Amino acid sequence: MNGRESVLIVLKAAIVALIACTVAAQAEECPRQDALGTSRVLTVDPATYPRVGVQSFPQTLPLEDHEVVLTFDDGPNPPTTSKILAALSRECVRATFFLIGQSAATNPQLVRRIAAEGHTVGHHTWAHADLKKISNAAAIEQIDRGIAADEMALHGKAGSTPTTPFFRFPYFESTPALLDLLQSRGIAVFGADFWASDWNKMTPEQELKLISDRVKAAGKGIVLFHDTKAQTAAMMPDFLRYLRENHYRVVHVVAAAPGKSVQRIP
């Protein structure tokens, strides 16, 4: 056996060990074998994907057929967010939560729970203001103050540079100046590809029918819910079961490290 063959054997052994460790870690993270699970992690670089979601922008995330990204706005709200976290945990699913700074400041333990359970924390202004209806300076203050409150809740240290550079405009109302500002700061703006319309009053059964029909019609995409809505919290276990039974796969989005482009990690 020559030196090159020895190196190849060592590399193969290391790869096998890494795969074994990964499988073991996944099994440990998700004890239910029949759970929906998180299919893969999609690492998003704001330089490559500065704005995503076809309801607002021409571009969206590079998802395959039957892949969905679950996102929740306006939390945290203890009664409903906790129920949604429990439903996600039972199915071993990870999502993205776009938080309101005021609510994060009031409920820092819940913010830390969201992060501790593996979900991505994005930003949704300080007080859910319509940034298109206020001055540019006031809009920037809403963005920065919201980010600072989220960062304080997460890390005990405020700052206008987010750990995870993902932002969603309240009501999807942006301006060209604000979009350019966020892009210059390396913050990706998330719209959505479709949503549950859960700002409208309806029963959990009606919401399940509405969102499952939209998932089926779209085939894939970024889905928007609100974790402040009781009907959404009540509906979530059934929706996740719908995804599982109809062979949809959940993709978890995370931020790229500085200087890294979009990667797909199985």
Q: Looking at the predicted structure, is the pLDDT value of residue 266 above 90?
A: no
| Residues listed for the chain | 266
Whole-angstrom CA distances from 114 to 61, 120, 172, 209 are 23, 8, 23, 27
Question: What is the pLDDT, as a whole number, of residue 257?
Answer: 77
pTM comes to: 0.87
Question: What is the pLDDT, as a whole number, of residue 263?
Answer: 34
Question: What is the pLDDT, as a whole number, of residue 31?
Answer: 80
Tens of pLDDT, residue by residue over 162-204, are: 999 999 999 999 999 999 999 999 999 999 999 999 999 999 9
Closest CA to 244 of 1, 73, 39, 12: 39
CATH architecture for the domain at 35-265: Alpha-Beta Barrel (3.20)
- Name 234's Cβ contacts closer than 8 Å, sequence gap at least 6: 83, 204
- In whole numbers, what is the pLDDT of the chain averaged over residues? 89
Is 65 labeled as catalytic in the residue annotation? no
Question: What is the pLDDT, as a whole number, of residue 21?
Answer: 33
Whole-angstrom CA distances from 27 to 22, 85, 173, 181 are 9, 19, 41, 42
Question: What is the pLDDT, as a whole number, of residue 29?
Answer: 67
- Catalytic entry in 73, 193, 198, 227: 73
- Catalytic entry in 198, 226, 227, 252: 226
User: For 169, which DSSP code?
Assistant: -
Tens of pLDDT, residue by residue over 132-172, are: 999 999 999 999 999 999 999 999 999 889 999 999 999 99
Is 66 labeled as catalytic in the residue annotation? no
Question: What is the pLDDT, as a whole number, of residue 258?
Answer: 61
Place of tokens 């960062």: 151
Whole-angstrom CA distances from 46 to 40, 41, 67, 257 are 19, 16, 20, 10
